[in-house]
């Protein structure tokens, strides 16, 4: 059945106003155009929809049946329009973010708290994964954007640099004697090393830097997070490469000792990853605007 949906709008307002002329005023068209549209709809549906009366028009039995469904349809459209308006005004909506445990705890959490306080109606879901896994989730459409450790590259993904981070080498109190003189990377082979798992982008970054100096790093322990590296280093299991930005308290208290390197690891950036060509929701745009 080939029915122009605009005909139903004319039918709806003719019913609501009870008058062809008043429907024409609401719709900003002429009364003959309203009459012609009703006739077209009646011809397609195969039955009369209105009786003409002295006061205007009244629905037939068939018209009453049709109106019940058309009224519901218009009601649902209004609900949908309101839902969209609420999303744009951040009264509702949803944000799906991908980030590692470390970046979630030390970088993302304060911004999540601020955004949630401002827009409590927006649901936030955070999926904790490594940078490579986060990028995979982004390309699969399972998250809106990712918080990742740079450098990273992918033709499908756009990266925006955010806050700088600095990797450093630390040990527990038993390694305090190493803090006096900067060490070469090759000297570290004499000590047990603690590194992240080989799938972590931070691990690859540090290993690539060491390889550029002709050094291969062989870890004694491979751990799943920066927090675990910190805990193992504090207990004297070995030396660990961690992000210096996130261990200020441990360094200040003396629980961790920074071991200076002759050639420090170059600083890098936290990155905001979005899928090229895919628009963000109003909520995601607003949240990302909070991030440096």
- Residue 82 domain-assigned? yes
**Can you read off the two tokens belonging to residue 267?**
């600083």
Q: Are residues 157 and 233 in the same domain?
A: no
Residue written as token pair 């744009």: 88
Q: Are residues 134 and 112 in the same domain?
A: yes
Q: Are residues 23 and 102 in the same domain?
A: no
pLDDT digit string, tens, across residues 110-122: 999 999 999 999 9
Burial class (CB in 10 A: 0-12, 13-18, 19+), 34: buried
Residue written as token pair 């905001």: 272
**Domain of 212, in residue numbers:** 167-266
pLDDT value at 124 more than 90: yes
Q: Are residues 46 and 20 in the same domain?
A: yes
pLDDT digit string, tens, across residues 45-90: 999 999 998 889 999 999 999 999 999 998 888 888 877 877 787 8
What average pLDDT score do residues 167-189 get? Answer: 92
What average pLDDT score do residues 104-130 get? Answer: 94
Q: Are residues 281 and 148 in the same domain?
A: yes
Q: Are residues 12 and 47 in the same domain?
A: yes
Q: Is the CB of residue 215 less than 8 Å from the CB of residue 202?
A: no
Could you give phi then psi for residue 166, rounded to 5 degrees?
-125, 120
- Residue 271 domain-assigned? no
- Residue 243 domain-assigned? yes
Q: Is the CB of residue 273 less than 8 Å from the CB of residue 129?
A: no
pLDDT value at 240 more than 90: yes
Q: Are residues 45 and 180 in the same domain?
A: no
- Residue 155 domain-assigned? yes
- Residue 77 domain-assigned? yes
Rounded distance between C-alpha atoms, residue 217 and residue 17, angstroms: 80
From 38, 58, 88, the end of a domain falls on 88
Q: Is the CB of residue 112 less than 8 Å from the CB of residue 124?
A: yes
Angle of CA points 46, 51, 54, to nearest 5°:
160
From 62, 88, 114, the end of a domain falls on 88
- Residue 159 domain-assigned? yes
Could you give phi then psi for residue 12, rounded to 5 degrees?
-60, -50
Residue 78: predicted pLDDT: 84
- Tell me, letter by letter, the H, E, C secondary structure of the chain: CCCCHHHHHHHHHHHHHCCHHHHHHHHCCCHHHHHHHHHHHHHHHCCCCEEEECCEEEECHHHHHHHHHHHHHHHHHHHHHHHHHHHHCCCCCEEEEEECHHHHHHHHHHHHHHHHHHCCCCEEEEEECCHHHHHHHHHCCCCCEEEEECCCCCCCEEEEEEEEECEEEEECHHHHHHCCCCECHHHHHHCCEEEECCCCHHHHHHHHHHHHCCCCCCCCEEECCHHHHHHHHHCCCCEEEEEHHHCHHHHHHCCCEECCECCCCCCEEEEEEEECCCCCCHHHHHHHHHCC
Q: Are residues 83 and 111 in the same domain?
A: no
% of the chain exceeding 70 in pLDDT: 99
CATH number at residue 37: 1.10.10.10
Rounded distance between C-alpha atoms, residue 189 and residue 217, angstroms: 7
Q: Are residues 67 and 198 in the same domain?
A: no
From 88, 120, 137, the end of a domain falls on 88
Q: How confident is the model at residue 1 (pLDDT cuts 50, 70, 90)?
A: low
Q: Are residues 142 and 281 in the same domain?
A: yes
Query: pLDDT averaged over the chain?
Result: 93
Rounded distance between C-alpha atoms, residue 204 and residue 194, angstroms: 14
Q: Is the CB of residue 95 less than 8 Å from the CB of residue 81?
A: no
Count the domains in the chain.
3
- Residue 193 domain-assigned? yes
CATH number at residue 144: 3.40.190.10
Q: Is the CB of residue 278 less than 8 Å from the CB of residue 139?
A: no
Q: Are residues 82 and 131 in the same domain?
A: no
Q: Are residues 143 and 172 in the same domain?
A: no
Q: Is the CB of residue 125 less than 8 Å from the CB of residue 97?
A: yes
- Residue 110 domain-assigned? yes
């Amino acid at each position: 059945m080939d029915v122009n949906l605009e005909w139903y709008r004319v039918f709806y307002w003719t019913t609501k106003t009870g008058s062809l002329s008043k429907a024409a005023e609401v719709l900003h068209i002429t009364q003959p155009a309203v009459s012609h549209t009703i006739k077209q709809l009646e011809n397609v549906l195969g039955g009369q929809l209105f009786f003409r009366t002295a006061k205007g028009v009244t629905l037939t039995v068939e018209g009453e049946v049709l109106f019940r469904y058309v009224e519901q349809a218009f009601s649902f459209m209004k609900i949908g329009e309101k839902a969209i308006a609420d999303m744009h005004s951040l009264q509702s909506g949803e944000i799906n973010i991908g980030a590692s445990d470390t970046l979630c705890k030390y970088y993302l959490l304060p911004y999540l708290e601020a955004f949630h306080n401002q827009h409590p109606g927006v649901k936030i879901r955070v999926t904790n994964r490594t940078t490579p896994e986060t990028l995979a989730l982004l390309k699969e459409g399972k998250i809106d954007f990712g918080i990742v450790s740079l450098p990273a590259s992918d033709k499908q993904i756009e990266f925006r640099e955010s806050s700088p981070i600095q990797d450093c080498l630390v040990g527990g109190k038993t390694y305090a004697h190493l803090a006096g003189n900067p060490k070469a990377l090759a000297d570290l082979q004499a000590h047990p090393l603690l590194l992240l798992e080989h799938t972590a982008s931070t691990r690859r970054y540090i290993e690539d830097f060491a390889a550029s100096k002709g050094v291969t790093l062989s870890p004694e322990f491979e751990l799943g997070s920066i927090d675990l590296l910190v805990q193992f280093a504090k207990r004297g299991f070995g030396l660990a490469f961690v992000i210096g930005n996130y261990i200020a308290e441990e360094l200040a208290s003396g629980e961790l000792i920074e071991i200076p390197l002759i050639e420090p690891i170059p600083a890098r950036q936290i990155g905001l990853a979005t899928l090229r060509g895919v628009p963000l929701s109003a909520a995601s745009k607003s949240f990302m605007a909070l991030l440096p």
